[in-house]
Amino acid sequence: MKRSFVKFSALVIALVLGLTCLTGCGLRAVNNTNENTVLVFEGEEISVEEAEFYIRIMQYETEVGSSTLIQMLYGDLNKFWASDDGNGYTYANYAIDEAMSRLVQTKTLVKKAAADGITLTAEDNAKVDAAVDTFKETYADVLAKYTFDDAMIKKYISENAIAKKVYMAMVADVDTTMDADAMKRKTFIGLSITGQKSVSADEEAGTEAKEYTEEEAEANRHAAMEDVLARMQAGESISDITTYYASVKEVAVSSFGTLTATPEDVPEKEGEFTSYRQKAWTMSNGEYATIDTQNSGGTTVSYVLYMQNDDDADARAEAEAEELATRKGELFQKKYESVKEKYDNYRVDDSVLSKIKITEAIYEIPTAEETSAED
């Protein structure tokens, strides 16, 4: 059976509905020399063991990277893998497809490397050897549950190292010029203040429950905003301010940490702000500001902002790195379309691939007690 590999994201739920097929599975029928061959790729017989290696790595990376989200939505990892997309295709199926997609792409780039004369140097091979131990440590949970020998691990690392060299060669001509204005970043800190319409009784503090009108809640919020601004201007730390307001029940005061404003936050009309980021974009070093906005629920929230750096070099460098990575990814995908056409003559033997199941999680989500102990 010819198989289309479906892209699966570690973001799991949010992106699962946007999955797209990796096109171009070829027409060659599998001519297995034994029942252990899952596919034949350009004359190379790929064993079910190698396919499972890729699948277990994909499974483990998904479990570790998305465990919090999965636990919140499904309760545990096993239930997640057994769940489907509403059309009978389980998330385990998607993970297997993506792992096979990775495998095929790696093999494709390895073939291109051979055609282009790209090989691993002695230095590269030394790094591969050193990476085996690191891999064993990183994927210790996988290796404790499934038997994969050093030869398989080294082959995986080595072929991915070659694939990376091909990737770098394919994106070597990427446009690295950056628009200075577009990459400008401003970093700021601040607090949000929301007025409460009701306060519960606190027996320990000796206070009674109380209800506030819309006008009273607004007045409490505004008074707190002015007080927070004065405290910040006086040099009081964000931590001390939030600690103080933890006992003030009439308002909720929270820190949002350090945030970044970008040119995308330029207000549509000068002096009119629909978000605190837009306000921040107009600020200069050392400046304080306040702004009221409405959240998605229609509640008015006040913000007190402080501009730490109105041209943050580190944030700019990070933005440029992200932009360059995006450009490289887009350039690679464009070039890869023509590359994969040359190595597109294969079929997957589903009767062999179906031997691999994802029914039991590899990663054990730490309990709250274990997490606290680590902290």
pLDDT on residue 22: 31
User: Within this chain, do residues 195 and 297 fall inside the same structural domain, yes or no?
Assistant: yes
User: Is residue 18 located within the same domain as residue 161?
Assistant: yes
Q: Read off the pLDDT of each residue in 133-141 and give the average, rounded to a whole number.
A: 95
CATH number at residue 85: 1.10.4030
315 in any annotated domain: no
Kindly indicate the confidence band of residue 9, based on its pLDDT and cuts at 50, 70 and 90: very low
Q: What pLDDT was estimated at residue 20?
A: 31
30 assigned to some structural domain: yes
Same domain membership, residue 146 and residue 114: yes
Residue 353 lies in a domain: yes
pTM listed for this prediction: 0.78
Note down the domain range covering 51.
5-175+320-374
Q: Are residues 35 and 121 in the same domain?
A: yes
- Residue 368: pLDDT over 90: no
Higher per-residue pLDDT: 121 or 43:
121
Q: Which of 28, 199, 16, 1 is nearest to 92 (CA)?
A: 16
pLDDT in the model for residue 118: 97
CB 51 within 8 A of CB 356: yes
- The reply to whether 146 and 215 lie within a common domain is no
Residues 35 and 153 in one domain: yes
256 and 339 assigned to the same domain: no
Q: Render pLDDT for 17-32 as a digit per residue (tens, 0 to 9).
A: 223 333 333 334 444 5
| CB distance 345 to 2 below 8 Å | no
Structural domains of the chain, count:
2
Instruction: Examine the domain organization and report whether 246 and 102 are in the same domain.
Output: no
In a domain, 181, yes or no: no
Cα 290 to Cα 274: distance, rounded to the nearest angstrom? 13
Residue-wise pLDDT for 42-57, tens only, equals 888 999 999 999 999 9
Instruction: Report in angstroms the alpha-carbon separations of 21 from 6, 28, 53, 94, 334.
Output: 5, 19, 22, 11, 16
Give yes or no: residues 342 and 281 share one domain. Answer: no
Q: Mean pLDDT of all residues in the chain?
A: 87
pLDDT (tens digit per residue) in 274-330: 899 999 999 999 999 999 998 777 889 999 999 999 999 999 999 999 999 999 999
